[in-house]
Chains A and B, each alone.
Chain A
């Protein structure tokens, strides 16, 4: 790896890092979460927003990466986790090394620029180009797997065919690997000599294939070197499926499924390709097509945290600016006495002002005493307890509007009414009123990443700058970044993310306006003095009826709803909104909840827990998207 100032800035996609570096940075935790049947003979579709790790996962199975894992299989005499995982799945052999020929192709290579039109010739050219590339990439991958410098050395490899491979019409069933490489190169060059033209291309004269024969070739060809079979297992991986035209994508998936392959074919695409389907959660699996949304691969937040932590620590190991210890070691998760003091003074002032109205209240006198008791023990926990009590008082007040109960509430009653949710609400309320740090620590960093590796690295990069800054200022005895500094850097990164939305998305300006409105709406609902939706609202819900209306009106071409559907789909595809299904209950129909991306929650100063949402109508969403949020008056804590 070339010298890099911030190791968290680098994306570990196919092109940007060396294989050795890839192996060092690759976290095997994701392998443990792969479904068992993902190596079975079928078409497996992996989807996710950008940055979730699809290409990284696919790259791990390419020959050069597998060879790198093989040569790094022992660390201080102990087998690495990655090696053990590969052996358990038959990808590697304990003694003989890599057994799997992983062939990785990207669809971001001109298929979408092929002549368009619904004719057999156009479809045939797509298959022909795909086929010659699969064959070429397979043979190059084989050369890499066998440690050869170039495909010329494939002269020592003999090809034999069995089963469906004998019946291939478009791919020559030659025994010579070198000849087949030459055929594939010539085929592609011939296609490109005509295709890469300045004017429109006619399909006449271009090769036309009637089926995706390359996949049949890959599953049936045997590679023999010095009489011994090599690379007995195969895996075809096709990345960037979203770069194909809709019809090409549908055709590829459909025809691959129909081939009933007995080798696994992994297709990876960004969620954006699912289009309007993304907006409503529905089953997409079929018998021979298995769909794995990568963001759902983690069974719990804790599991993602382990994965994330592993990634961060590996990146720390490859930098030299600061000692290579665990990333979490640099993130202080407690406020110091001195730091607490600055918030304490303000908290005491506000609490005393608040108590003026309740100290002598017959109903709340005991609870007020509880607050006063906390005022004599400085600390963040006391501030939180005070805020929690204030919330509970506000709740009691709002329920009492039609009664005249004057009986005092006891301390036991306070304890009974308290809950984790109220405590969490108290924490975010203190963050809002006293500016106590909230977005800090490894656990919160992982939540902010919204199950997306790229987001995790973006936030970690910001924190790393803080870590290095402390190192540079050598007078600092404490190497850890303070909670305030962590929060400041995280919020700055969140601001950049929010500001970058119009520059990075097709409907970016509308998306930003909609997200800003959702953020403001959620804030309005969260920071009500009685915290009715504790710990807070971080999402909106659209009912099934409204979703159905959205789909049908969009088909009819109602402009505003067509745009809304597109904006929502893009927000979900790009991980700006996280869609979760919401089941029906006695009081309401089913629907879908769209939670704000957790980093955006940091921008809007919202809590990070899921669960709090409010139902909205399509009309409201269209208004927010076009005009922005129009606030209404709300009673706020302390107002």
Chain B
């Protein structure tokens, strides 16, 4: 496993780790060059996360040679006037919070008039390109997923990992060429439950780099294993993805357990009983459990399962592993790590990995609920100094 040893912190320990990390840089007289990527969205959790980050970095008094905040905006989502105004306000707040460290750039991802029906996957690839072009000699890349849509942060995260994780013979280096890649999440389960995502697109969006398993004609006869990572109120999106899953597919739903709400798994089983469990006749023995708020636990569970299926099904000529993350951000990040690692080994092997999503077109949440949010910060370090 790539992340056999890992760095993951929550709550106040995150700021302690930042302070220690940047203080060590100061003491070692290493310059710090930061690229901080966040979403230009309505979710106020990004503000809280950035505020804490800037505070910790400033207090460490490390030498910041350059710092850039990149706000990624999306033009294709439909938001109410209120949420649109909140988005603009958040952008101003984020810029002003980051002023202590450096400047702000905005990148927009969306159709640009000429070809209106450009696919979401193509837009994501273009977005990845735009971000990669902004990376130069940075020592720290921070991806704050708090206010980024799922397909965006998955895409950016996997693109950054592809760039930073280097091949070394038969193994892979997580040193990242000296670049410390962190992912930050501002979690607030209460607020997550209030955000309504509606009007799922009729077209599945394949995360760039993870499409072959579902699209290649030459693989259509390979057996398929589908891992739907279940979360609340995602039935419509699940149905869209299910249309692409063949009859003979092995289906292994993943439920969040352990969880703060002890009944969460049971509630999800009830929510998806008719649409998933009954209609596909999935035995309960196929259900997997992944810790609700420990991404590396989810990573291990899924990677082990995918490796096991890949090994057994190689006898049948090949297999396709399809993962649909519909759960919270932390589990989704863990799942993405597992998919990334499986893909690393895919060359010359008879299997492929796909991550299909049915992306909602519209989000709705009452403003008062947004403003009441008090997120808890979680941090994963995926490459860099800790792995040297």
Contact = CB atoms under 8 A, between A and B. Distances in A.
Interface string B276-312: 0011010000000000000000000000000000000
A49 to B, nearest CB: 12
Majority DSSP secondary structure for residues of B touching A: mixed
Interface in A100-116: 105, 108-110, 112-113, 115-116
Interface in A479-505: 500, 502-505
A188 interface: yes
Given A185-B218, A243-B203, A196 B198 contact: no
Nearest to A574: B202
Interface in B104-124: 115-119, 121-122
Interface stretch (A14-22, A387-395, A525-533): A14-22
Given A110-B211, A506-B361, A509-B362, A198 B203 contact: no
Interface in A1-44: 2-6, 9-10, 13, 15-18
Size bracket of the A interface: 35 or more
Contacts of B368: none
A109 B162 CA distance: 24
A77 interface: no
Interface in B156-202: 158-159, 162, 198-202
B128 A113 contact: no
A110 B115 contact: no
A196 B281 contact: no
B208 A198 contact: yes
B125 A199 contact: yes
A505 B199 contact: yes
A13 B119 contact: no
Interface stretch (B10-18, B87-95, B243-251): B243-251
B129 interface: yes
Nearest to A5: B278
A200 B125 contact: yes
A199 B129 contact: yes
A140 B219 CA distance: 12
A188 B128 contact: no
Interface in A111-156: 112-113, 115-117, 132-133, 136-137, 140
B380 interface: no
Contacts of A506: 199, 201-202, 361
Nearest to A137: B217
A197 interface: yes
B29 interface: no
B159 A15 contact: no
Contact of A198 (B162, B198, B214): B162
B295 to A, nearest CB: 20
B186 to A, nearest CB: 25
A199 B162 CA distance: 10
A198 B199 contact: no
Contact of A17 (B125, B162, B247): B247
Interface in B127-145: 128-129, 132
Nearest to B124: A198
B209 A184 contact: no
Nearest to B214: A109
Interface in B47-73: none
Interface string A373-397: 0000000000000000000000000
A113 B206 contact: yes
B221 interface: yes
A201 interface: yes
Contacts of B122: 112-113, 115-116, 200
A3 B162 CA distance: 43
Shortest Cβ-Cβ A-B pairs, 3 listed: A110-B215, A15-B246, A198-B209
24 contacts: A2-B247, A2-B281, A3-B281, A5-B278, A15-B247, A105-B217, A110-B206, A112-B119, A112-B122, A112-B203, A116-B118, A116-B119, A117-B115, A140-B221, A189-B218, A196-B208, A196-B212, A197-B209, A199-B129, A245-B118, A503-B198, A503-B199, A505-B199, A509-B198
